[in-house]
Structure 1
Amino acid sequence: MTVTISMPDALRQSVEAASGGVNTVLYDSKGYPSIMCVVPRFNIEDIDPALGTGTHPAFLVGGIQKSEIFVGKYLARIHDNHALSLPGQDPSASINFDNANARCSAKGPGWHMMTNAEWSAVALWCWKNGFMPRGNTNYGRDHAQTYETGRRQDGLAPGLAEGTARTLTGSGPVSWYHDNTPAGITDLCGNVWEWVRGMRMVNGEIQIIPDNNAAETDADHSAASPLWKAILQNGNLVNPGTANTLKWNATGVDGAGNPQLATSVTSQSNGETAASQLYKDLTAAGGVTVPNILKVLGLFPHATSIDRGYLYLRNLDERLPLRGGYWYNGVTAGVFSLYLNIARSTSSTTIGFRPAFVL
């Protein structure tokens, strides 16, 4: 199976010309096009020297440094069992983690569902560049800038609090694009929550697949995969279940009912309730050191200037991550939002996903 990424056709030429080369068109194993945003490699110290040095993990796949990654400009729309990134589409939703993952991997070598490492790279880039994208966070409009609207797939008016208020991909203003230009990645804030791969939580323990190895098309993301690693306070990666690995504790740990980072779980939500907190206000339990890897991967705030986003937490059993928020999350939606409440089998009209590609 092969994939063509450089076909000099009229569509690709027009997309690249219109975006100054920031966007391109990639073709999958069935020849279907997807419009992708090219994200060039950057170093961690380019974002904040306090976070360390070296290449951001999103650009390290299988021990090889990549010059760029390709992120779907638009939320995925499934066609012929392939996840496409195209404008003016109702984003595919009501899909669980494994099925969304499979719709991306089916596209051929290099294709995958967007990873948490890739998502964090884009979110950190947004913060560094001083612009946090807005989006569909209030039934087809932005909750704060209510004049910013998109085209609802259900045909109802923006702001009308009924119906299924997904907006068509790319139908919002440029402030809904990650770089505040028409060439940016759309809908990272609101519209639908997005599955990402390469990260999970098991009974509170934070687990990742190292670097961006989760971007390998055939990377094993099953519950029993040997690729999962837990994290110590010094940032070292160890086998899950090792003593004193970093965990998210649920309600009540800080005395105010907010979740905290800890090295042992003393409070688990019972499967019916969940903890939540503004992402920028998250704290660590007394004596716990927060390694830079958590901040670099968007799992713990690196700055208090992040003005949108929440952590939602149910630290019971395996929980797979969602990012970004959906159409009625208001201020709790944002590029740093992280939802760790649900199992991989969950599907909802509020949950979608996005394809990505690494050469």
Structure 2
Amino acid sequence: MKSYNFDSLKFATEGLTGFGCTVIQDDVNLPSFMIPFSKRTNAQLFDGGSEKTHSAFIVDDVEYKRFFASKFINCIVDGRAYSWPGMDPAVNVNYDQAMQACNAKGTGFHLLSMPERAVIDHLIYKSGFVPRGNTNYGKSHASGYSYEVGEQTADESDGSGGRRTTRTATGSGPATWFHDGTRNGIADWVGNVWKWTSGTRVVDGEIQIFVGNAAAKQANAGAASTYWKAIMPSGALVEPGTVGTLKYTKDFKLATATGEKGSTYTANFGNLTANSGVTIPEILYELHLMPKTGVTHQGAFWINNEGERLPFVGAGWHYASHSGPSALGLDHPRTSAYAFIGLFSAFMEL
């Protein structure tokens, strides 16, 4: 039986949401609203998946019963990231700054990882409900839903002498802007601002990941970190630069050679395919780094296969039909810091 902490905010939040949301305090006792996700296998998350426990729930070969994702795009207070409602999202933070704002909160806190993002996206597509969001200057771009708006927290010139909304207050949109279509879900999963995501990168097109959910233990994600592993078509994880590892090409193929280098995008993540003769290993479906057939993906895919590129997901306020749960940007270096990139923190009870 669960033993209750009768802290009034935590107890009320869990009671009102049926444990759909809880409150977790950091090392300076400030709270964040967090959404729990219980352990699942790949078979429970996507068609054709094995009975393997999903990577999001494995750290150093130990399985954990759940992780917690931020309910709200984070703000940053005194160098720490917080999941609070009604805030202007923290932006103009680069990848390392986003990592540090999460890690500073104490053991178990971390920048939302690609395995965790994948679990949530798989659940979205399994449910049949795909969230909308602030994808057209403060409102939804979707046909027939332009009445869905959030509360403005920032604006910009519209180029014609007027002003238009950019960012909106976290959680201020309708229930359809939450990941599960209810206010118990994660707000602004799609749109508002992009969200930096940990545990994955590309280097000269080569896909590199952490083993399991090592991001949850605040594993070193520096450019030269030994935690980075490349992927063979068999699914084996090997040292970066090994001959025959899997790479993204400029023409949206999964291949074992990078080919022509440069930056480009395709309007839908679902357009990615494997080169003839190249096997897509389960781990790439598991991490939502390749599209599963039979799923109607929403969101575009950007790639720059020159140098190191770190991921952000979900798109921002002005990406319209290119927004969606599958929206994935792998075209920016870790130093990028813009008014349209923010972050979600996450937590695991290690």
Q: Which TM-score band applies after superposition, normalised by the shorter structure?
A: over 0.9
Aligned to 1:183: 184
Classify 1:329/1:6 alpha carbon distance in 2 versus 1 (closer, same or farther; 3 Å): farther
Alignment of 1:125-140 (within 5 A): 125-140=123-138
Provide the secondary structure at the position in 2 that maps to 1:136: coil
Deviates more, 1:13-22 or 1:23-32: 13-22
Contact 2:42–2:49 (8 Å) recurs in 1: yes
Contact 2:94–2:335 (8 Å) recurs in 1: yes
Contact 1:39–1:68 (8 Å) recurs in 2: yes
* Counterparts of 1:234 and 1:154, CA distance in 2: 47
Classify 1:139/1:223 alpha carbon distance in 2 versus 1 (closer, same or farther; 3 Å): same
Contact 2:315–2:327 (8 Å) recurs in 1: yes
Note the C-alpha offset of 1:323: 0.6
The one-letter code sitting in structure 2 at the alignment partner of 1:339 is G
Matched, 1:333 2:331: no
Note the C-alpha offset of 1:118: 0.3
* Counterparts of 2:64 and 2:288, CA distance in 1: 20
Provide the secondary structure at the position in 2 that maps to 1:335: coil
Contact 2:274–2:280 (8 Å) recurs in 1: yes
Q: Give deviations 1:168-203, integer Å, cap 9, x for gaps.
A: 000011111111111001111111000010000000
* Counterparts of 1:209 and 1:21, CA distance in 2: 30
Aligned to 1:40: 38
The one-letter code sitting in structure 2 at the alignment partner of 1:244 is G
Contact 1:57–1:211 (8 Å) recurs in 2: yes
Classify 1:233/1:59 alpha carbon distance in 2 versus 1 (closer, same or farther; 3 Å): same
Classify 1:317/1:164 alpha carbon distance in 2 versus 1 (closer, same or farther; 3 Å): farther
The one-letter code sitting in structure 2 at the alignment partner of 1:259 is F
In the alignment, which of 264, 267, 271 is matched to residue 260 of structure 2?
267
Note the C-alpha offset of 1:10: 1.1
* Counterparts of 1:155 and 1:163, CA distance in 2: 5
* Counterparts of 2:116 and 2:64, CA distance in 1: 12
Aligned to 1:208: 209
Aligned to 2:149: 149
Structure 1 runs (4+) deviating above 3 angstroms are 160-164
* Counterparts of 1:164 and 1:175, CA distance in 2: 19
What TM-score do the two structures reach when normalised by structure 2?
Answer: 0.94
The one-letter code sitting in structure 1 at the alignment partner of 2:221 is H
Note the C-alpha offset of 1:49: 4.3
RMSD between aligned alpha carbons? 1.9
Note the C-alpha offset of 1:307: 4.0
Alignment of 1:98-247 (within 5 A): 98-144=96-142, 145-154=145-154, 162-163=163-164, 165-217=166-218, 219-247=219-247
The one-letter code sitting in structure 2 at the alignment partner of 1:42 is R
The one-letter code sitting in structure 2 at the alignment partner of 1:103 is A
Classify 1:349/1:20 alpha carbon distance in 2 versus 1 (closer, same or farther; 3 Å): same
The one-letter code sitting in structure 1 at the alignment partner of 2:198 is R
In the alignment, which of 283, 290, 300 is matched to residue 273 of structure 2?
283
The one-letter code sitting in structure 2 at the alignment partner of 1:245 is T
Q: Give deviations 1:19-48, integer Å, cap 9, x for gaps.
A: 111100000011111000011111111123
Note the C-alpha offset of 1:50: 0.8
Contact 2:297–2:326 (8 Å) recurs in 1: no
Provide the secondary structure at the position in 2 that maps to 1:46: helix
Note the C-alpha offset of 1:286: 1.4
In the alignment, which of 325, 333, 338 is matched to residue 343 of structure 1?
333
Contact 1:19–1:182 (8 Å) recurs in 2: no
Aligned to 2:346: 356
Contact 1:294–1:300 (8 Å) recurs in 2: yes
Percent of matched pairs sharing the same residue: 38
Gaps of 5+ in 2: none
Contact 1:281–1:304 (8 Å) recurs in 2: no
In the alignment, which of 84, 87, 94 is matched to residue 92 of structure 2?
94
